[in-house]
């Protein structure tokens, strides 16, 4: 039972353009959603999060949008930079248990 | 700078060996987790712990065990390593309380790339 799905295994964009990474979920009990970024041979690092009561959160070049009715969230990176090339994981937090359920990840390649 | 430290970056072990992966955090976090990352499968939870001497199975606990004798240390044990346990292993910790840096999220270690031959 895949509670968090990232249907695009990879994405390639040009430097300076917008990157849009998508994530779908099935568990209505998630109270927070988080995005992590992972470089090869390193652990994931926290990028941005959004509460389930919000529909948008912005931090510099990164914006996360949440559509609860569609059970869909997306991460927008504008403008994209070569250093953004990494695997991006979305995750849902299962309420009071503090356990995160991760998606399968999307490999973003930003071409110079 | 807060840290989750995994004892080894790379390990090569033989089939049937008992393998210990160690993880230490210095943030006084209550929760600790072990994940493995495999291509196309994302991050899958093996075991987690909400307190000392407490453990709970994650989604793929078979072939693994864990130990948490102290709050800061969480060990993953492969009782008899097999080739299908070749993977990147990631340890993480978190707090039940809102964390200003990760907002209920995890802090991960750098990972251990384990190869079983």
Q: pLDDT per residue over A32-55, tens digit each?
A: 899 999 998 889 999 999 999 999
- The verdict on a CB contact (< 8 Å) between B105 and A34 is yes
Distance from CA of A51 to the nearest CA of B (A): 10
| Per-residue pLDDT, A100 | 87
Torsion of CA A80, B106, B64, B36, to 10 degrees: 0
At residue A109, the 3 state secondary structure works out as strand
Peptide linkage before A79 cis (omega within 30 of 0): yes
In the stretch 68-97 of chain A, residues with CB closer than 8 A to chain B read 89, 91, 93
What backbone torsions phi and psi does residue B112 show, to the nearest 5 degrees?
-125, 120
Q: What is the mean pLDDT of residues B62-88?
A: 96
Q: What is the DSSP letter of A80?
A: -
Categorize the per-residue pLDDT at A2 as very low, low, confident or very high, splitting at 50, 70 and 90: confident
Distance from CA of B11 to the nearest CA of A (A): 13
- Statement: residue B1 has pLDDT above 70: no
Q: Tell me the C-alpha distance between B57 and B72, whole Å.
A: 19
- Statement: residue B87 has pLDDT above 70: yes
| Total residues belonging to chain B | 117
Peptide linkage before A97 cis (omega within 30 of 0): no
Tell which of B92, B103, B113 to mutate to test the A interface (max A CBs under 10 Å).
Answer: B103
Q: Which residues pair with A92 in a beta bridge?
A: A33, A101
């Amino acid at each position: 039972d895949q509670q968090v799905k990232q249907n695009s295994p990879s994405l390639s964009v040009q430097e300076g353009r917008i990157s849009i990474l998508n994530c779908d979920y099935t568990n209505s009990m998630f109270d927070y959603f988080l995005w992590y970024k992972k470089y090869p041979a390193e652990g994931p690092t926290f990028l941005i999060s959004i509460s389930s009561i919000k529909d948008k959160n912005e931090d510099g070049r990164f914006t996360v949008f949440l559509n609860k009715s569609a059970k869909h969230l997306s991460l927008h990176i504008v403008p994209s930079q070569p250093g953004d090339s990494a695997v991006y994981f979305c995750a849902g937090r299962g309420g009071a248990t503090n356990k995160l359920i991760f998606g399968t990840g999307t490999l973003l390649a930003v071409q110079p | 700078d807060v840290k989750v430290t995994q004892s080894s970056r790379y390990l090569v072990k033989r089939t049937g060996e008992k393998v210990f992966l160690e993880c230490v955090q210095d943030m006084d976090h209550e929760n600790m987790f072990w994940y493995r990352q495999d291509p196309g499968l994302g991050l899958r939870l093996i075991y987690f712990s909400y307190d000392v001497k407490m453990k709970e199975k994650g989604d793929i606990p078979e072939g693994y065990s864990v130990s948490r004798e102290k709050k800061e240390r969480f060990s993953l044990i492969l009782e008899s390593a097999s080739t299908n346990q070749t993977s990147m292993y990631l340890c993480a910790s978190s707090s039940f309380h809102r964390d200003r840096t990760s907002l209920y999220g995890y802090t991960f270690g750098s990972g251990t790339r384990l190869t079983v031959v």
